[in-house]
């Protein structure tokens, strides 16, 4: 019935993209609007302004040839005043974020030994966040926080490291 009366509703924490005959006209804030469809007016889509989180798992190799899985958590949101860029310039935000994170992690971690990667995970997160902020601001997104939540070496490497540490502990006791 709303379509017959030309009424549309934009929900809270979203903006709607209004088009006239297929051309962007304006962003509609939350509320109720009258869009005469018979005059070519329509809602092309919505952009959520809520904070979103994307967890990305990236496999890479350290300087000492140990394969590790690095898990990064990216918190981001679309900027209200740039929602048209977020809607029109980027098809798949998550894939784009993932590509940038993979690129930065695979450029940073191979320069570090395994132990250094664990110690410098905050620095890795800062580099990822800076690169994402530069890239994603062109698409109307703000990167709020980037965390490296886990660096997990291969199971065999973990086991070998635990055996070495156990052996070192035994030598100290004797």
Could you read off the pLDDT of 4-35 as tens digits, one per residue? 568 999 999 999 999 999 999 999 999 999 99
Backbone angles phi, psi at 172, to 5 degrees: -70, -30
Q: Give the rounded percent of residues in the chain with a pLDDT score beyond 90.
A: 79
Closest CA to 27 of 87, 93, 89: 87
Residue 94, pLDDT above cutoff 80: yes
Looking at 21-168, which runs of residues are DSSP E strands? 23-28, 31-34, 41-48, 52-61, 67-78, 141-153
- Residue range 43-59, pLDDT digits in tens: 999 999 999 999 999 99
Q: Where is pLDDT greater, at 156 or 18?
A: 18
Q: Where is pLDDT greater, at 98 or 157?
A: 98
Give residue 112's Cα distance to chain centre.
Answer: 24
Output the pLDDT for position 155. 78
Cβ(67)–Cβ(155) below 8 Å:
no
Mean pLDDT, residues 140-154 taken together:
94
* pTM for the structure as a whole: 0.83
Q: Tell me the CATH number for domain 52-163.
A: 3.30.479.30
CA–CA separation, 86 and 162 (whole Å)? 47
Output the pLDDT for position 151. 93
Helix 121-136 crosses helix 93-108 at what angle (to 10 degrees)?
140
Confidence grade of residue 1 (pLDDT, cut at 50, 70, 90): very low
Q: Give start-end residues of each CATH 3.30.479.30 domain in the chain.
A: 52-163
The residues, ordered by sequence, that sit 6+ positions from 85 with a Cβ below 8 Å of its Cβ are: 138, 139, 140
């Amino acid at each position: 019935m709303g379509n017959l009366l030309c009424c549309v509703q934009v929900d809270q924490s979203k903006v709607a993209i209004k088009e006239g005959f297929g051309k962007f006209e304006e962003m509609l804030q939350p509320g109720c609007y009258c869009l005469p469809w018979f005059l070519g007016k329509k809602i092309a889509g919505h952009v959520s302004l809520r904070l979103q989180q994307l967890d990305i798992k990236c496999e890479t190799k350290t300087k000492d040839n140990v394969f590790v899985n690095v898990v990064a958590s990216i918190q981001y949101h679309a900027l209200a005043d740039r929602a048209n860029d977020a809607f029109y310039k980027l098809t798949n935000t998550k894939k784009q974020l993932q590509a940038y994170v993979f690129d930065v992690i695979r450029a940073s971690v191979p320069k570090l030994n395994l132990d250094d990667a664990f110690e410098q995970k905050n620095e890795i997160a800062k580099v990822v966040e800076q690169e994402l902020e530069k890239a994603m601001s062109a698409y109307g997104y703000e990167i709020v926080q980037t965390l490296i939540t886990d660096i997990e070496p291969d199971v065999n490497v973990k086991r070998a490291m635990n055996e070495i540490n156990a052996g070192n502990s035994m030598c100290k006791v004797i």
